[in-house]
Amino acid sequence: MRIKVKLFGGLKLPFKHQENVGEYWITLEKDYTIENLINLLSLSGKPLIIVVNGFICNDLQKKLEDGDFVSLFPPIAGG
């Protein structure tokens, strides 16, 4: 299955990729969870805001589906 991943706030893929910087199509095995994706991207242990198909998701065990659009943000603060 293929999902689209968009990274914000300086987050980067841990491996070479030739598509647009910050936005990637990634091919995954079936039954991949958000937690599996975060581990694949070497982002485990980092605080993240996770948005799947336009909705904030706090369930790391949510299974991803073909065509899902996952956005990952570091915590954002301002003043």
pLDDT 10s digits, 35-52: 999 999 999 988 999 999
- Domains of the chain, first to last: 2-73 (3.10.20.30)
pLDDT at 13 > cutoff 90: no
Across the beta sheet with 2-7, the strand order is 23-27, 2-7, 69-73, 49-52, 55-56
**How would residue 60 be classed by pLDDT, with cut points 50, 70 and 90?**
very high
**How would residue 14 be classed by pLDDT, with cut points 50, 70 and 90?**
confident
